Structure 1
Amino acid sequence: MAVNAIAVMLLAVLLPLRDTNADACGNYMQLSNLTKSITSPGYPSLYNSSLSCEWRINASSPDHLVGVLYVAQFESKNCQHGSLSFYDGSDNSSGLLLQLCGTDRGGILSCGNTMYIQFTSSASSYGTSFVLTANNTERCRGTFIATPQMTNFTIPGIPYVSYRNLNCKWIITSANENHTVQVKSRRLVYFGPSSQSCTCDVVRVYNGNTTEADQFLGEYCSTQMPNFYSSKNSLLLVLTTDANTTSFGLQMQYSSRPEGHCSRTHSIYNTPIYILSPGYPSSYGSNRTCRIYLNGIISPNMRLDVLTADMEGTYPQCDTESVRLFAATGDMGSNYLAGKICGNSSISPIGPYYSNGLFKEVVFKSNSDTKGMAFRIRVSPTSRKVIPHQSDNCGPQFRNATAHPNILSSPGYPGMSGYEDNCIWKVTASNPKMMVRIVVIDSDVPFFEWVRCDYSVTFYNGPSIFNDTIFSWCGDSKPTLQSTGSAMTIQFQTRYYSSDLKGFRLKYFTTNETYRCGGTVNVTTVGNRTLTGQYENSQDCHWTIHAPANMAIQVKVTNLNPYVKPMAPPKTCNADYVEIYDGSFDNISSSTGKWCGQYSEGFIN
């Protein structure tokens, strides 16, 4: 009875104007503006056994579809005792859209203007009931008027389910002919097979009222939620689905944007988006400044290609009009000028340009005399990494290591030179048969340890930041490190500026001796010592720590990766672990425990 109550409530709330067809076992229906109700024979009582009922429902015109809301309860989920089947056409030889068994509720939409519904109950059936409500629904096409107020838009008509072979088109036009249109995806409800490549069920977006290739703005599918912006006063949405039955629904918002508002933010998923200058392909307007921010969602690395460029100005000066591309350096998030474009595509570089970070920015400026159509740019996710831009105050990038130690310091040492520095030094042994050894002499403790690292230093085993990482730290660590070959790369990045920090200082030199971690450490009551191990394969490091007579030793096990949230160690550590013993290595009395994983612990006595 609970399902029956729900069904009655659904009809009373959602369908105040309806034409009832209570418990007839089959009928022909012609839909109009009124909804029509279909209930199981004998409703609200139980339906009888050995029934076979058929309903044929026609929409009001070829431009409309048949939508049906349903609340159903059957005896079993395997359709042995009763079922309700929906077909896309005039009889059961048409394609099956849905078959209901058990208890369910929802909505279904035909692909054409006719739907056929068949109900059967078995000889041993003791069924309960179902309630259907048929609606005359417009086909998935139409025209909408955009105003500055954000307007909600659902396609193809939630709560109905969108099915096979749809080809829907909607045109959104600004009420003010001088304004442009923006569309923001709020939610994509998709229950079919995942289609990351957007080859099956996909929404494509075009600039203006055309599907020409040079007006394509992008496409999306699955759970992507990008934003799109027109360069004209209209924007076209095209939804297509393949022949497979899938469940698909989309909720969006649209609005108009004043003519001079050309700054925006784009989210980059796993398909390219296309960015057009204001008015493209017509003139872009005078005295414009547009800031376009790009945010990588699937991958932090992005590729930018300039497909069309037609502006005033002479390359490389670009002193009148230009597009400037700013790329992120990496994890620390600082930006640098990656390229600039002016003139036309024949004299100005068109890329590709790459960014390693989460954000990239495109800045477009025009002067008072405009003639060209400006630019069309494609932005794509990529797995390719590039060497970040070197800050100006890093000094020489290439360093030659000899047997005599040389000194390398962070910019401004003993202080911080500024905000968001990015330095990469390549240290190469003068003798290719030698190895490079690094000894960190000095570094300082960041403010709010484990929460914020004002700077970080990473060492790579080779001549590039794409080689394997040897060690990375921020804080008071003073490691000794060594390459396995003739080169080592050091990367220094600052996130914040603080006058209280001094940075780091290290010495580098060549050696042919195999590096062994470990040693003897003497501690006192003043200050503390930090021990670090070079994380490589097959390491076996032993430190013996001595304290003054009648003094105990405290040890703090600390995760040195500032970007990984610490967590408790596993119950067992069979490989890659740190173990602390009470006593000397030759006279161990007991083990205080093992630590592995990412871990941060208070002092251990």
Structure 2
Amino acid sequence: MLIHKHAILGLLLATLVYLTDAGRCSWEINVTEHDQFLLMPSPVQANESCWWRLHAVEEGHHVVMKVRNEHNLTGCPRTLAVYDGHNSSDPLLAEICATEKMSIASSGRTLYVDMEQANTFAETRINILVHAVRECGGQLTSFGTYTELTSPGYPLDYYRNLYCSWVINTESESETVILKLTDVDMDQSDMCKNGAVTIYNSNSSDESLLLGRFCKTAYTGSIVQSSQNTLKIEFSANVSSPGTYRGFKLQFYSVAEKSCNFTTELVENTSMFIYSPGYPNSYYNDLHCLWDLWTPNEMDIVLEVVDSELEGSNPSCSEDAVTVWRQYKKVETFCGTSTPNFTIPDGLKVMFTTRPAVGKKGFRMKLTAGKQNITPSCGNQNLTVVQSDRYLVSPGYPMAFERRLHVDCLWTLTSSDPDMMVHIEVLDSQMDGYRDCDSSDKVYVYDGPDTTAAVIQIWCGNMKPVVQSSGSTLTVRFVTTDRRLRRGFKLKYTETREPFSCGGQISVTNSSEQYLVSPGYPGNYRRNMKCVWILRSPQNTRIYINVRKSSIGDGNICTDSYVSVRNGANEYSKEIGVFCGEAGPYYISSGNVMSVILHTGPGSVKQGFLLEYISGSYHDPYDCGGHIHLNSTVTFCRLTSPGYFSNYYFDMKCVWVIETNNQNLQVSTERVDITFSPSCREEYLTLNDGSLSQPSLIGKFCGQLQFQKEFVTSGKEMVVTFQSRRPNNVHSGFSVLVVDGDFEACTLQEQMAWDTITYITSPNYPFNYPRNVHCSWRLDTDGDADMAVQLTVISLNITKVSTACDSNYLEVFDGYDPSSQSLARWCGAGQDHDVLSSSGRYLFLKFDTSYDTPNTGFNVSIKRIFSPQASRNGLIIGIAVGATAGVFVLVAIGYHVVRRGSCFQSDTIAHRTNLRRFFYKNTHQ
């Protein structure tokens, strides 16, 4: 006969149970760490009660009672009342049905169980197992390797009415504790009220230093880190929690105090905290912390900065700073005592950097993951405007970050006093859209009680306009597409009697996408306005503004409507630029303050402007020029005007001195676009051969130079100078390329002379020729031996060193090379209009200079003519032919006279001779 295994085990254990003389179903039981079954009479009589007093034999132990229904009983024939002590006068822990499954632990060494039978006879079985467990919690030490910690009973069911507390300390005070939850399986109750694993950033249960409270199932590994060398873990389980759960398993280890980089998953609807290293004491210098936080299933992360005390001040945050990133895009940077909060989908990165300066308390930020239930509710759409500040935000602001919502909200803002106007100032704006706000999320502002009124402002993107109604009512309409929304907008509204004044103070940060727009943009601005904006950035930074869109005035004549940009805090500061028309310049301030002044005249109105501004460590454009040394490593440099290719500034003078270790320098003018003035007196680019103390002008430019021109210096040094004044419109400036090497200013040049006039000039003409150059030109009539080269001196100004012209001169040779006969040698000045010709098809020019002070050089013209030698030969041949013809004529005449008896006269001979001469002249003219 087979006997059930549980019955056999029960009989064996019964021999170990101490049974008192308290009735047929009441027991006093000593409990050890070994499992024991609770026995009872079976069947139990109707209305019969039984009790057990369970007592842990060893100190430092709890009693655990496990109720197991392995027979799939239904209903509740027996009820168990469990008391945390010796009898029913102690705290009642639970009243449970004997058919449930549950594990309950005593808080001390004793547990009292009272069972009441139903009022009917029942043949039921109950499976209750008891054993003793050691007290949980205590002091632990963290090392550089993983240590594992689990809840009591893990991975089997954890016990109700159990509280465990562990304090973990690192071996060294210069270390922190990193804790990784690898498994959490508990009753997922709201606010973890039925039990949780709670972690504190200290050795106490201080809620202000909470690191995280977990009761949701989390298998992927959530990570928290202490800010100092101590961390506390608490584990609690409420008796009323239904079901069976494993509890938790975690790992902990220690790292250096400046090691503050980890990647972790955020559990849905569970908050955890990040602390700066050292918090709440001062943080450390030269930190670079990066926390990578992500969520599964495209949940949102709500980041709330609870406490912040960092070195530096917003918005620059040039000292210590916390930067929040979404993927590779910066969301926000904060420092000082700023405590921002925002919602970011999917995941984010938090970066904390410090400099070697005084450390502050640091920060504490709370992170929660979950599905944010944001509905596009417009809220109260009829708003009363009073003199105190009130605020209007877009639906879901700022939680609508990158959501797909379609919103169309209309708000009517009405002044409490009909004689006052409505003034709104946009404080924050982050929406889709750019420049003209076409096909994007946008806000319309109507100058009246509904959308039939005139539109006085449209904004989108990051624009932050200031708008004011002309009457007592103003209407705001917010319209979005089906694209992802950004943060939305926040604006401040008040009522006022003051007339609308544009302009104001603007704080400039190093964040991108900060925009300034003219009033009404992208609608038209008003006539006869003057707006002054003062832009300020942090100390030791400069302001960069880039005009993204401009439509101002009529054309590029900046007289009626224009924008003036100045270096300073008012409209009387040094002006660095003016733009109008369709110009798109950019400017950089010399300090941390810049003024932008809009002037509109009585003429036609246009769209206005949109400019982007940002602060940073930009180079002062007025600090231009400098000394450049070219060598074997740096063989070239490109010089450009400040602001190239957009625009240069007013009243600039830049001087560059370029030197080389090589023989000389070659300069190429790649582009010149400078305001033109006669003789380039006002604005110019000059190239000087030589040093600052002994310059020789070899080039001067203004206006527009569309072709490249090259210059070669005489030696190892040159000077480039750029001077600007006040152009009437925007010019791009210049770009020149300087290369070092061993260049020849000029070599032997072969040049043809044609019937039309061409010109030959000295190098750099009409500016100074280089020192110590040797130039030559071989001029040819294209192979025609009957033609010659005629040279005419147009201008000549060569430094005369001696009367013999033996060091600086221009010499002309009648032939193929300088071994031919010299026709002339010139130096000095005053040979203008001298003319000479070659005797044959070639003419050779030689130009030599010394190290003496150079001059402008020469300009000569050449053309092809008939050779004089060919003319003399023609004359001789003509005479010979004529004589022969004359003899033939005389013979013919004589023959005629003899035959005809005719007579002839001498004037007839003279006439024939004249005919011959006429023929010659016509032939060789």
Q: Give the TM-score, by structure 2 length.
A: 0.36
Answer whether contact 2:271 2:367 (CA < 8 A) is retained.
Answer: yes
Answer whether contact 2:139 2:166 (CA < 8 A) is retained.
Answer: yes
Q: Residues 151 and 392 of structure 1: is their aligned pair in 2 closer, same or farther, counting only changes over 3 Å? A: same
Show structure 1 runs of 5+ residues with no match.
329-333, 400-407, 409-423, 435-461, 473-605
Q: CA deviation at 1:201?
A: 3.6
Q: Residues 188 and 90 of structure 1: is their aligned pair in 2 closer, same or farther, counting only changes over 3 Å? A: same
Q: Distance in 2 between matches of 1:10 and 1:186?
A: 38
Aligned to 1:216: 210
What are the superposed Cα offsets for residues 226-285 of structure 1, whole Å, 9 maximum, x if unpaired?
432111122112345668455666303131242143112341643543211112223433
Alignment of 1:373-388 (within 5 A): 373-380=361-368, 383=374, 384=396, 385-386=399-400
Aligned to 1:133: 130
Q: Is residue 2:340 matched to residue 1:352?
A: yes
Q: Distance in 1 between matches of 2:115 and 2:323?
A: 65
Answer whether contact 2:445 2:477 (CA < 8 A) is retained.
Answer: no
Q: CA deviation at 1:223?
A: 4.2
Q: Residues 170 and 9 of structure 1: is their aligned pair in 2 closer, same or farther, counting only changes over 3 Å? A: farther
Aligned to 2:351: 363
Q: Is residue 2:253 matched to residue 1:253?
A: no
Secondary structure of 2:280's match?
A: coil
Q: Distance in 2 between matches of 1:136 and 1:19?
A: 22
Q: Residues 468 and 125 of structure 1: is their aligned pair in 2 closer, same or farther, counting only changes over 3 Å? A: same
Identity of aligned residues (%): 21
Aligned to 2:329: 336
Aligned to 2:54: 57
Q: Distance in 2 between matches of 1:252 and 1:96?
A: 26
Answer whether contact 2:285 2:359 (CA < 8 A) is retained.
Answer: no
Opposite residue 322 of structure 2, the aligned amino acid is V
Instruction: Please identify, of 278-287 and 239-248, the stretch whose mean Cα deviation from structure 2 is larger.
Output: 239-248
Opposite residue 209 of structure 1, the aligned amino acid is N
Q: Distance in 1 between matches of 2:349 and 2:276?
A: 14
Opposite residue 396 of structure 1, the aligned amino acid is R
What are the superposed Cα offsets for residues 476-512 of structure 1, whole Å, 9 maximum, x if unpaired?
xxxxxxxxxxxxxxxxxxxxxxxxxxxxxxxxxxxxx
Q: CA deviation at 1:362?
A: 1.0
Opposite residue 367 of structure 1, the aligned amino acid is R
Q: Distance in 2 between matches of 1:470 and 1:365?
A: 34
What are the superposed Cα offsets for residues 80-107 of structure 1, whole Å, 9 maximum, x if unpaired?
3x666544332345525354545x6653
Aligned to 1:170: 166
Aligned to 1:113: 109
Q: Distance in 2 between matches of 1:161 and 1:180?
A: 29
| CA RMSD after TM alignment | 4.8
Answer whether contact 2:66 2:130 (CA < 8 A) is retained.
Answer: yes
Q: Distance in 1 between matches of 2:277 and 2:50?
A: 59
Answer whether contact 1:76 1:101 (CA < 8 A) is retained.
Answer: no
Answer whether contact 1:19 1:37 (CA < 8 A) is retained.
Answer: no
Q: Distance in 1 between matches of 2:303 and 2:484?
A: 29
Q: Is residue 2:203 matched to residue 1:205?
A: no
Show structure 2 runs of 5+ residues with no match.
375-395, 403-427, 454-475, 486-925
Q: CA deviation at 1:209?
A: 0.8
Q: CA deviation at 1:3?
A: 11
Q: Is residue 2:75 matched to residue 1:78?
A: yes
Secondary structure of 1:398's match?
A: coil
Aligned to 2:285: 286
Q: Give the TM-score, by structure 1 length.
A: 0.53
Alignment of 1:492-511 (within 5 A): none
Aligned to 2:232: 236
Secondary structure of 1:197's match?
A: helix
Q: Distance in 2 between matches of 1:369 and 1:212?
A: 30
Match of 1:89 among 85, 91, 94: 85
Q: Residues 98 and 184 of structure 1: is their aligned pair in 2 closer, same or farther, counting only changes over 3 Å? A: farther
Q: Residues 175 and 5 of structure 1: is their aligned pair in 2 closer, same or farther, counting only changes over 3 Å? A: farther
Q: Residues 3 and 63 of structure 1: is their aligned pair in 2 closer, same or farther, counting only changes over 3 Å? A: farther
Secondary structure of 2:351's match?
A: strand
Q: Residues 212 and 470 of structure 1: is their aligned pair in 2 closer, same or farther, counting only changes over 3 Å? A: closer
Q: Is residue 2:147 matched to residue 1:154?
A: no
Q: Distance in 2 between matches of 1:3 and 1:177?
A: 62
Aligned to 2:770: none
Q: Distance in 2 between matches of 1:3 and 1:97?
A: 34
Q: Residues 397 and 35 of structure 1: is their aligned pair in 2 closer, same or farther, counting only changes over 3 Å? A: farther
Answer whether contact 2:80 2:114 (CA < 8 A) is retained.
Answer: yes
Answer whether contact 1:190 1:249 (CA < 8 A) is retained.
Answer: yes
Opposite residue 286 of structure 1, the aligned amino acid is N
| Bigger relative contact order (CA 8 A; separation at least 6) | 1
Secondary structure of 2:366's match?
A: strand
Answer whether contact 2:178 2:225 (CA < 8 A) is retained.
Answer: yes
Match of 2:262 among 264, 285, 288: 264
Normalized per residue, the structure richer in helix is 2
Aligned to 2:308: 308
Answer whether contact 1:109 1:160 (CA < 8 A) is retained.
Answer: no
Aligned to 1:398: 437
Q: Tell me how many residue pairs correspond in the alignment.
A: 396
Q: CA deviation at 1:174?
A: 2.7
Answer whether contact 1:196 1:222 (CA < 8 A) is retained.
Answer: no
Whichever of the two has the greater Rg, that structure is: 2
